[in-house]
Amino acid sequence: MERLKLCESEYRLMDVIWDETPVSSARLAEICEKKFGWKKPTVYTMLKRMGAKGYLVYEQRMVRSLIDREQVNKSEGELLLDKAFEGSLPNFIAAFLKNRKLPKEDAQRIREMIDEAMEDE
């Protein structure tokens, strides 16, 4: 799967779209003005640009996402891991946990996730 890289404003707009899908473009512009202070032309410009990238469908004044939140979050996480930690998950975890304690429930859930992700020997 191709990695998805959204800039901050694109992510903010998609976050609204994911919560409201399907949503009219007028309602979307209204929400974005209240939440972010964006004017209607800004929202419509972003819709055109993001539609061209294949992130959403904007037709008959309705907006619908073509990508889901999990896809984007996974892709963003992989980009961060590659960029900041040379692709090393252990380095990421070490940096994240430095000077920090995990609640037992979180530590147990992480252990379970690791066990599920382990390759069979």
Distance CA(8)–CA(5), nearest Å, equals 10
Question: What are 6-46's pLDDT values in tens digits?
Answer: 999 999 999 999 999 899 999 999 999 999 999 999 999 99
Distance CA(89)–CA(105), nearest Å, equals 21
Token pair listed for 61: 């004044």
Say what the pTM is.
0.76
- CATH number of this structure's domain 8-69, picked from the four choices 3.30.70.1400, 2.60.120.10, 1.10.286.10, 1.10.10.10: 1.10.10.10
Domain ranges of the chain: 8-69
